[in-house]
Every structure is written in C-alpha cells, then in structure tokens.
With several copies, the nearest count.
Chain A
Amino acid sequence: MADKNITAEDLAHQLRAVSVAEFFEKNRHLLGYENPTKALITIVKELMDNSLDACEEARILPDIKVSIKEIAPERFKVKVEDNGPGIVEEKLPLAFGKLLYGSKFHRLKMSRGTQGLGASGAILYSQLTTGKPSKIASSTGKEIHEIELMIDVNKNDPKIVSHKEEKNSGKWHGIKIELETEARYIEGKQSVFEYLRQTAMSNPYAKIIYDGPNGKVEFERVVKEMPPLPREIKPHPYGVEIGLLRRMLASTNARNLVGFLTSDFSRVGRGTALQICKLAKLDTDRKPHDLSHDEMEKLHKSMQMVKLIGPPTDCLSPLSEKLLEEGLRKETKAEFVVAVTRPPSVYRGNPFQVECALAFGGELPKEGSSQLFRFANKVPLLYHASDCATTDAVVDTDWKRYGFSQSSGQLPQGQLGIFIHFASVWVPYTSEGKQAIASYPEIVKEMKLALQEAGRKLAVYVRQKNRMHDRQMRKELFEKYIPELAESLEKLSGDKKEKLIEALEKIIKKSAIKSEENEKEGDGREPEKTG
C-alpha cells in the first residue's frame, strides 16, 4: 500500500462507526479518569450517586457501605452496597454494561447522575486497567441476582460472564457492586475520605460506612426525614433551542399547535398558546408535523416574546435549612451554625435554587482562610474551586461587615466553614469533570444573597459573644492604669498617691454602668468640640 495515491474509494473502505464505549475508553479523561488518584474518587462518586438517587426516588433512608482495599501495589478492590430498590433482573446488564443508558437523561428533574455514563464508565475503566469483569448483585426484595459483567467495547453492549440466582431470606434489597481497578490512594483535601465526609454533610439523612485502606469510619445518620421528591417538569419555552423545538414538533402526539404548546411545555395555558400563534401568524389548527422551516423559526421567536412566569420549581429538591444545619453541625462540631435556603430562581429557562450555611468555631481550623464546601445537586465538588461560581460569590461578599477579615479577591479569614449548595435540573458545569459551576450572573447573585443573609445572622451571634468579653476587659484595664496615674499626679499636684488611688477606685465602681453606655466611643477617637 503506502505511497500509491489513495482514492475516494479507498477511503470509503476505511469508514467505520465507532462505538460509544470505544470512544470513552480512548477519551477516558472526559469521564474523570485522567489519573489514577482521580480515577478512584470518580469510581466511588459515580456508584454513590447512583445509590443515593435510587434510595431517594424509592423514599428509602439510604444505608451505604463503601469499601476500598489495596490488593496489590496501585491496584484496589472497590465495593459499594446500598439498600435501595434494586434493579429488576432483565435491565441489570444494560444498566451497568452499556454506556449512555439510564433513566435520567431525558427528564427535567433534579438528580445527581444524568447521562447514564456513571456506573458503566466505572466498569469500563476497571476492565481496561485490570481486564477483569465486575460483580453486581441486585435484589428488589425477592431473590438475589448476582452477575459478573464485562462490556463489549466494540458494540457498547453488556457481556454476561456468569449469572447466579440466590435465595433472599433476609429480604434484602439494593445493589452491591464490586470491581477491581488500577488506582492511587491519597488522603487530604481531594480524597475519597473527604468526598464521603462532604457527602455526609449534604445528605444528613444517609448513613455511610466507609472501610478504607486506613481503617473504618462511620458517618451516622443525623436526621430521619428526607427532602421531598422532586417532580419531573416539561421544558419551559424560554429554555428551548430551535433544534430541540423541531424535534418536539416532529414527535408530539398533539394534533394542533395549541395542543402542542399547552401539553408539551410548562407554563403555557390556552391563552398564551393562542397569543404565540398569533404572534407567529400561524393558524392555531396547524398540524405540528407540517410546519416549514420558516414557520418553525417564527414559532420559536414568538415563544421567546410572550410573557411567561418562570418554570415550576417542584422539580427541585433543596435540603432545607434544618437539614443543612444538622449536617454541617455534626461534621464541623461548630458552636454556631446558620443556614439559608433561597427561593427558586431561573437561568436560561432552567429552574435552580441556592442554599448556604455558615459554621463558626468548633473543630474548624482557628488560623488561616475559612473553609468552603461546594455542592451541586447534593454532590460535593472537590476540584477546580477557583473557577467556580461558589468561590466568586464568597470572594465578592464583603465579610468585613460580618466581623471577618478578608483581603481583596480572597476567601475570608477565621474559624469559619462556608457551605453552598446549588440545586438545578441542569447544572452548568464549566468542564467535563463536573467539578465547578459556571459563573452566570443570575447564579452568583443568588449565592451572594444567601451568603449575606446568613452572614448577618452569624454576625449577631459573634457580636453578642464579644460584648461579654469586653466588659470584663474594660474593668481590668482601668485598674492597671490607676496606680500609674496616681503616681504621676502626685509628682504634679503634690496630692498623696494613696488618697488618689482610693478616689479613683471609687469612681470605677460607680462608672461601671456609665462606661457601658459609652461603648461606642471606645474606639479611641475623641469627641470633637468647637470651643
């Protein structure tokens, strides 16, 4: 072959479809597997996300066990077990053995996972680095199915290596998954442990048992209620691009435009639908399938022009102030915690909601910068803090007002923990790693409002605490200076030192109350008088 000229026919022979699995195997960094350290965290995160989502949908308080054991240098066995509803036998292979397969991609509703790439991605990475199948056990409460699974990368299809069915005397339900992987284990700010610790903060109704290379830790359940289940919503007209509108028109069951607009979108009533048609100069009886391209463009434009209220927000499931406070208090042992849940808001047609909490004192580090804990849809974000909307919001907030020192462009200083949770049906991550939230002005603004409200509440507490301390200090201060004054004054006036001290001590008792009233002068400035 080689240097002879290649023709279009030659090239045609080389054209082939690439399977999704092949693509992600080669581009594994897109899934968070760019290095062995991050790979381990990604595996745990993806399996945890699935477990927590499943428990929540089934309204089961999550009990999750995570185990990581080193079985050879840079090779680990990872196990995650939950008490969720399990997956029915027929769907088990596809749910874990096919990339881009899941329940969450096509709906508008807040959840942790979205793309059907999480667990299958972990299994793909495991088999790429170890060549071994993964073991999955599932039960919906009846018998237990245990399968060994690999992914046929060329076809992006599951390949079952073995399948066992067992009795389930304990009525166990849930998923247990076990896989081997090449990885590296570290402790510290970006570690599996920290990921689980923060997950416990943002999911205080979950119990998490972690059996890691350095021992066992239990994160206890702090509260017994779960936040309400989010509802699925339909797209809001403001958030729909023309390409998507064309597809919706083609696949709708509605027989005319008004029906299409009212049934396939949220917040569009009959009146609004008529208005949209009128603006687009389209007959309300037109069949959605029959629109020409120009008509579609007009329809799309008109949809952006009518006045609509924002999308419904019950697709969101915030933690609530109470849960936030409990979760944060437990993990930081803070002496004071305050939480704020903002009302829902909208960016680019997507509903979202911001929550924040501030923790003060306790086991938080006394020196240096405050600690920022970032979450999106209850999932901790460990990487890329500097690119994140949460960081922008904290840095832009004037913490001096609330009694914390802060250099320009920096986090505040002090014994402070800052928790920010961003909940949305579609989180605008800045990059593929899903580790930072893009700084849309609407989002940063909501975050700042939340921080300011919480900051004001915290400031009241801190000030009260300081006041008690000040009173005692004041008295001691005057007592130290009295002998000095008396001594100088004796030299100056000739009056006896002892007599002066006695008189001054008397005044101090009398003036104790008065000096408190004077408090505001106590900043060292002298009142001016015009003589």
Chain B
Amino acid sequence: MKKKETEESLKKLGKKLATEISKGENPSLEVPIRTLSNIKYDPHHKMIKMGSNVATRYFFNVGHVRKFVQTVEAAALAKELNGMGKHLSLREAFYRMKRTLPDSNINLVDEQEESNEAIEDLELITDTSREQLHINANKMGSVAGKIVIEDGGDIIDWSKMGSGGYSLPSNVEDIIFKKVNAKFIIYMEKAAEWERLNEDRVWEKLDCVIISSQGQATRGVRRILQRLHLEHRLPVYVLVDNDPWGFYIYSVLKFGSISLAHISEKLAIPDAKLIGLTVDDVIKYDLKKHLIKFEDVDFKRLEQISNYEWFKNSKEWQRQFKMMKEMKSKVELAALSSKGITFISDTYLPEKIKKKDFLD
C-alpha cells in the first residue's frame, strides 16, 4: 500500500541530485544526525524521538565522498527491490552493493558496517523504514494464542500451532489480522519461558497471545506487538528477569531506543506494562534464595537506566531501582520453577493479571 510512496521518494532523491549536478553544484544530502546529542525523550508522546539536527554530506569532499556514494547506491538498490517486490537481508544487501571501483582495488563497501550505515542514513533521508525499503532485519520469535491471521494468502490460526507455535517473519507489514479473540499479549524475553507457558496452555486459559523473541526484541516482534496494540487495542504485558537488562528490554519496547529513535512511532508502545519480575515479586514469592550477585557491569547498567529521563520522575520505578541496588542481586524468571514446575502458569500470572499488579 505504501509501496508507491516509497518508490516516489527514492526517485525524488535521485532527481534532486541529478539536477544539482547538471547545474554544476556540489551535490549534497541532508542527513539527520544520529548521535546522542540529537535524540530527545518526548514526554508528551512518551517516546524517544530524533531531534532536528541535520548534517550536509557532499560528494566533492574527501571525508564525505565514500559515504555519499554508498548512500546513493543503497537508494538505487531499494528502488530495485521495491520494483521486484523482493526482500534482502542486510548481509545480502551488502553483497549486492559490494563492487570494485574501476582501475583500483577499492570496493564501494568493504564491511557490512558500511552498507548498514548507508541503509540507516537512507531511512532518515527519505523518512522510510527499512521494511519499506525491503531490507529485512533478523528473524526471531514464536507466537501462540487466540488470533487468526492471513499472510501471503495463507490463513493461519495461532491457537492451532501445537508445541512449536508460529514463527514470526522479520517483516510483518503484510500480515492481516482476520480474527482477534485474545484480550492481551504477554511478551517474554526467553524462548524457554515461552515453551513453559505454551505447554501449560496459558494463552488458552487466560485468553491471550504469548510472544517471545530472544533477549532484545527484534524489529519484527516489536512491530507486531505495536500493530496488535494499535489496531486491536490489546494491552501488552512484558515478562522479564528481575535485572537491569530485563528492565532495559521493557524500556525499549515501551519508549523506543536511541539507535532506532527515528522510527519510534513505528515501534514503540508507550502503554506497555511490566508484569514482572519486580523486586516486590521477588519478596512476595520468596525468591530471595535464588539471588544472583550483581557484577560491576550490572551496577553500572542499573545506574544508567535509573537515570533515564522517562524513569526519572516515576516514583514507583525509582523504588524498584533503589531496592534492586540495595539487594545487589538479580533474580531470573526461571527461578519461579523452584516453587513448582507450573507455578508461573498456575499461580503467578493469573494472580498478577487478576490483581492488575503491573508496573507502568
């Protein structure tokens, strides 16, 4: 649906440069700056967003020329992909862009790092997302629950997926939600946890969808969570370990991240809530004997997170951070199994949901 628009904006970019050249000007690109100094938390929308600082990149500048040509080449590739209706992974795109300059041993791109950056710059310059440019991110994540979708002509019922679940694609833009009987979504950071909940058929008992990625959620997972949230008003509950890294996963899902600040609107879910583990849960469910001592790096991360603008004014979050700091330890979700093999499914989640015991 947005395909035409994407192709148009890519062509517009080409025309601008060609015009400059024919006028004898130094062709230039205006690239929004992706450094920390140009990223701000927008408290009104509850999202991390890009500022308006822009750098001008010239072709006739020793320091710029390489990146300039790489960015234009990335645009040419994206136009081709859109035309064909095909997608490439970042690695494949790297190989498509890699070629040797005539009469030299210089490659247009030498490292994937370079083509990645060119693609990210292109997203900013043309105000499109990588998905629209037909470049795939990583594929990772399983889902099960009371939803039926249509994708590529197939009808897929997420409640009839056996023990494995549906495997989420890296690009979820074309998925159509046919029937949504779920009342909310539980997102968890670990596939092992997902298998626990799926084996215990939690999504059936609690009328919900369970989705996992591995560690930090991939773009595809974040997009599908956001789409279900926005298009079908499903609340998103995040289930992570009680440690700074779990909190960070929650933070990124909810407010967006610095590296993807330019597409926060397409990824962030400001209404997402934490369903655990909080430090209160650790105490309430008697998990204190499974504390894992903080390392220096944990203390540092906790310190960073507790200073995030979006957590700074939340009394409740600051309370969590303080307790964690005093406890000097973290606790994993898996520790709940010491209370009983299906304790998380039979007791923990139903209780938390019934009491609306969420951290916002």
B79–A491 contact, CB under 8 A?
yes
Residue of A nearest to B99 (CB): A484
Residue of B nearest to A496 (CB): B18
Query: Would you call B59 an interface residue if the criterion is a C-beta within 8 Å of the partner chain's C-beta atoms?
Result: yes
A474–B62 contact, CB under 8 A?
yes
Q: Which residues of B contact A481 (CB under 8 A)?
A: 59, 65-66, 69, 101
Query: Would you call B15 an interface residue if the criterion is a C-beta within 8 Å of the partner chain's C-beta atoms?
Result: yes
Query: Would you call B52 an interface residue if the criterion is a C-beta within 8 Å of the partner chain's C-beta atoms?
Result: yes
Query: Would you call A214 an interface residue if the criterion is a C-beta within 8 Å of the partner chain's C-beta atoms?
Result: no
Query: Would you call B283 an interface residue if the criterion is a C-beta within 8 Å of the partner chain's C-beta atoms?
Result: no
Residue of A nearest to B63 (CB): A524
B21–A477 contact, CB under 8 A?
no
Q: Which residues of A contact B63 (CB under 8 A)?
A: 521-526
Query: Would you call B156 an interface residue if the criterion is a C-beta within 8 Å of the partner chain's C-beta atoms?
Result: no
**CA A504 to CA B106, docked complex, whole Å:** 20
Q: Which residues of A contact B79 (CB under 8 A)?
A: 491-492
Query: Would you call A507 an interface residue if the criterion is a C-beta within 8 Å of the partner chain's C-beta atoms?
Result: yes
Minimum CB–CB distance from B3 to chain A (whole Å) comes to 16
Interface of B is mostly: mixed
With A484-B69, A492-B72, A518-B61 known as contacts, the answer to whether A526 contacts B56 (CB < 8 A) is: yes
With A492-B72, A492-B76, A526-B31 known as contacts, the answer to whether A478 contacts B60 (CB < 8 A) is: yes
| A519-531 vs B, Cβ < 8 Å mask (1 yes, 0 no) | 0011111111111
Query: Would you call A489 an interface residue if the criterion is a C-beta within 8 Å of the partner chain's C-beta atoms?
Result: yes
Residue of A nearest to B25 (CB): A507
The 8 Å CB contact of B65, one of A477, A494, A500, is: A477
Query: Would you call A511 an interface residue if the criterion is a C-beta within 8 Å of the partner chain's C-beta atoms?
Result: yes
| B10-26 vs A, Cβ < 8 Å mask (1 yes, 0 no) | 11011101100110111
A489–B72 contact, CB under 8 A?
yes
Q: Inter-chain contact count A-B, CB under 8 Å?
A: 118
Q: Which residues of B contact A510 (CB under 8 A)?
A: 24
Minimum CB–CB distance from B240 to chain A (whole Å) comes to 32
**CA A511 to CA B27, docked complex, whole Å:** 12
Query: Would you call B85 an interface residue if the criterion is a C-beta within 8 Å of the partner chain's C-beta atoms?
Result: no
Minimum CB–CB distance from B151 to chain A (whole Å) comes to 30
Query: Would you call B108 an interface residue if the criterion is a C-beta within 8 Å of the partner chain's C-beta atoms?
Result: yes
Query: Would you call B153 an interface residue if the criterion is a C-beta within 8 Å of the partner chain's C-beta atoms?
Result: no
Residue of B nearest to A518 (CB): B61
Residue of A nearest to B21 (CB): A503
With A507-B26, A515-B61, A523-B63 known as contacts, the answer to whether A492 contacts B21 (CB < 8 A) is: no
Minimum CB–CB distance from A507 to chain B (whole Å) comes to 6
**CA A474 to CA B73, docked complex, whole Å:** 21
**CA A525 to CA B31, docked complex, whole Å:** 12
Query: Would you call B271 an interface residue if the criterion is a C-beta within 8 Å of the partner chain's C-beta atoms?
Result: no
Minimum CB–CB distance from A12 to chain B (whole Å) comes to 71
Minimum CB–CB distance from B67 to chain A (whole Å) comes to 8
B72–A480 contact, CB under 8 A?
no
Residue of A nearest to B60 (CB): A511
Determine which residue in B14, B21, B73, B79 has the highest number of CB atoms from chain A within 10 A of its CB, and name it: B21
- Size of chain B's interface in residues, with CB distance under 8 A? 44
B73–A484 contact, CB under 8 A?
yes
**CA A500 to CA B73, docked complex, whole Å:** 15
Interface of A is mostly: helix
B60–A485 contact, CB under 8 A?
no
The 8 Å CB contact of B24, one of A484, A506, A521, A526, is: A506
**CA A506 to CA B24, docked complex, whole Å:** 7
| A194-232 vs B, Cβ < 8 Å mask (1 yes, 0 no) | 000000000000000000000000000000000000000
| A475-505 vs B, Cβ < 8 Å mask (1 yes, 0 no) | 0011011011100110111110001100110
A483–B24 contact, CB under 8 A?
no
**CA A526 to CA B68, docked complex, whole Å:** 11
A515–B60 contact, CB under 8 A?
yes
Q: Which residues of A contact B53 (CB under 8 A)?
A: 528-531
Q: Which residues of A contact B75 (CB under 8 A)?
A: 488, 492
Query: Would you call B80 an interface residue if the criterion is a C-beta within 8 Å of the partner chain's C-beta atoms?
Result: yes
Query: Would you call A245 an interface residue if the criterion is a C-beta within 8 Å of the partner chain's C-beta atoms?
Result: no
Minimum CB–CB distance from B89 to chain A (whole Å) comes to 20
**CA A525 to CA B26, docked complex, whole Å:** 17
Q: Which residues of A contact B22 (CB under 8 A)?
A: 499, 503
Which residues of chain B (36-83) have a CB below 8 Å from chain A? 52-57, 59-66, 68-69, 72-73, 75-76, 79-80
**CA A526 to CA B38, docked complex, whole Å:** 14
Minimum CB–CB distance from B35 to chain A (whole Å) comes to 9
**CA A477 to CA B63, docked complex, whole Å:** 11
Q: Which residues of A contact B15 (CB under 8 A)?
A: 493
**CA A480 to CA B68, docked complex, whole Å:** 13
Q: Which residues of A contact B101 (CB under 8 A)?
A: 480-481, 483-484
Residue of B nearest to A485 (CB): B69
B60–A488 contact, CB under 8 A?
no
Query: Would you call A508 an interface residue if the criterion is a C-beta within 8 Å of the partner chain's C-beta atoms?
Result: yes
Minimum CB–CB distance from B72 to chain A (whole Å) comes to 4
Minimum CB–CB distance from A154 to chain B (whole Å) comes to 67
With A480-B103, A493-B11 known as contacts, the answer to whether A526 contacts B55 (CB < 8 A) is: yes
**CA A515 to CA B65, docked complex, whole Å:** 12
**CA A526 to CA B64, docked complex, whole Å:** 7
Q: Which residues of B contact A477 (CB under 8 A)?
A: 62, 65
A492–B11 contact, CB under 8 A?
yes
B108–A493 contact, CB under 8 A?
no
B76–A488 contact, CB under 8 A?
yes
Which residues of chain B (92-108) have a CB below 8 Å from chain A? 99, 101-104, 106, 108
Q: Which residues of A contact B62 (CB under 8 A)?
A: 474, 477, 515, 522, 524
B52–A493 contact, CB under 8 A?
no
Q: Which residues of B contact A528 (CB under 8 A)?
A: 33, 53-55
With A492-B79, A529-B55 known as contacts, the answer to whether A478 contacts B65 (CB < 8 A) is: yes
**CA A491 to CA B69, docked complex, whole Å:** 13
**CA A489 to CA B103, docked complex, whole Å:** 20
Q: Which residues of A contact B73 (CB under 8 A)?
A: 484, 488
B17–A489 contact, CB under 8 A?
yes
Minimum CB–CB distance from A521 to chain B (whole Å) comes to 6
A521–B76 contact, CB under 8 A?
no
**CA A12 to CA B54, docked complex, whole Å:** 83
Q: Which residues of B contact A485 (CB under 8 A)?
A: 59, 68-69, 72
**CA A488 to CA B11, docked complex, whole Å:** 11
**CA A525 to CA B63, docked complex, whole Å:** 7
Minimum CB–CB distance from B55 to chain A (whole Å) comes to 4
B108–A484 contact, CB under 8 A?
yes
Minimum CB–CB distance from B90 to chain A (whole Å) comes to 18
Minimum CB–CB distance from B156 to chain A (whole Å) comes to 36
A500–B64 contact, CB under 8 A?
no
Residue of A nearest to B37 (CB): A528
**CA A530 to CA B14, docked complex, whole Å:** 24
Q: Which residues of B contact A514 (CB under 8 A)?
A: 26, 60
Q: Which residues of B contact A483 (CB under 8 A)?
A: 101-102
**CA A510 to CA B57, docked complex, whole Å:** 19
Q: Which residues of A contact B60 (CB under 8 A)?
A: 478, 507-508, 511, 514-515
Minimum CB–CB distance from A522 to chain B (whole Å) comes to 4
Minimum CB–CB distance from B286 to chain A (whole Å) comes to 20
Q: Which residues of B contact A522 (CB under 8 A)?
A: 61-63
8 contacts between A and B (CB under 8 A): A480-B101, A485-B69, A488-B76, A491-B76, A492-B14, A514-B26, A527-B55, A528-B33
Known: A510-B24, A525-B63, A530-B54. 12 other contacts (CB 8 A): A480-B106, A481-B69, A484-B108, A488-B75, A489-B18, A495-B18, A499-B22, A515-B60, A515-B62, A529-B54, A529-B55, A531-B54
Write the residues of chain B forming the contact surface with A, with a CB cutoff of 8 angstroms. Answer: 10-11, 13-15, 17-18, 21-22, 24-26, 30-31, 33, 52-57, 59-66, 68-69, 72-73, 75-76, 79-80, 99, 101-104, 106, 108
Write the residues of chain A forming the contact surface with B, with a CB cutoff of 8 angstroms. Answer: 474, 477-478, 480-481, 483-485, 488-489, 491-495, 499-500, 503-504, 506-508, 510-511, 514-515, 518, 521-531
